[in-house]
């Protein structure tokens, strides 16, 4: 038996322009809705690290690894959500944490990286109204 998702109107399209977010409470869940270059994404407003209100963090890009010292590769602009407490970074479009290990730089030890899971939800636009399905 499949369970239908409930439909929640969030705001008009004009109220959520590119680069902006809207944080809503639906039931006991706080959820951030983001307009990333015209596409909409929703992530749970709890950082998997220590529970900060993740969606109140800054949105921008991040530095990706490069081949040579002194080279910089700023990328993913508008897709990276940085937690306001300890600055962990997450890709809004996937919910995945951004983590860049550099084993050549310093002595390394065995480490396991477990991907924190953010709860993600389907978001749509219906006749210029942003809609969230839970
Ligand atoms: S609570 Fe988000 S990085 Fe620590």
Q: Give the residue extent of every domain in the chain.
A: 7-127
- Tell me the pLDDT of the chain (134 aa) as tens digits: 566 778 888 888 888 899 999 999 989 989 898 999 988 888 889 888 888 999 999 999 999 889 999 999 999 999 999 999 999 888 888 888 876 543 332 222 232 233 456 677 777 777 778 888 87
Cβ burial of 42 (10 Å; 0-12, 13-18, 19+) is buried
104 φψ region: left (φ > 0), alpha (ψ -120 to 50), beta (else)? alpha
Q: How far is CA 38 from the centre of its chain?
A: 15
Q: Where does 7-127 sit in CATH, by number? A: 2.102.10.10
User: Among 86, 116, 118, which residue has the most ligand 1 atoms within 8 Å of its CB, making it the best to mutate?
Assistant: 86
Q: Would you state the pLDDT for residue 61? A: 96
CA of 81 to the centre of ligand 1 (A): 11
Report the predicted TM-score, pTM, of the whole model to 2 decimal places: 0.77
Q: Would you state the pLDDT for residue 113? A: 35
Q: Which two tokens stand for residue 123?
A: 């978001």
Number of the ligand 1 atom closest to the C-alpha atom of 84: 2
Number of the ligand 1 atom closest to the C-alpha atom of 52: 1
The ligand 1 site (C-beta within 6 Å) comprises 47, 49-50, 52, 83, 85-86, 88
108 touches 98 (CB < 8 A): no
Q: What contacts 86, CB < 8 A, 6 or more positions away? A: 49, 50, 52
Q: Would you state the pLDDT for residue 109? A: 25
Q: In this structure, what DSSP letter does residue 45 have?
A: S
Number of the ligand 1 atom closest to the C-alpha atom of 47: 2
């Amino acid at each position: 038996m499949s369970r239908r998702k409930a439909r929640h109107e969030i705001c008009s399209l004009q109220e959520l322009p590119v680069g902006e977010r809207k944080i809503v409470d639906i039931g006991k869940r706080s959820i951030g809705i983001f307009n990333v270059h015209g596409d909409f994404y929703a992530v749970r407003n709890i950082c998997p690290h220590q529970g900060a209100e993740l969606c109140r963090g800054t949105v921008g890009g991040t530095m990706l690894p490069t081949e040579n010292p002194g080279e910089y590769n700023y990328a993913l602009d508008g897709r990276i959500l940085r937690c306001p407490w300890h600055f962990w970074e997450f890709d809004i479009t996937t919910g995945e944490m951004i983590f860049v290990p550099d084993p050549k730089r310093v002595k390394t030890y065995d480490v396991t990286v477990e991907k924190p899971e953010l709860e993600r939800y389907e978001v749509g636009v219906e006749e210029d109204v942003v809609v969230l399905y839970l």
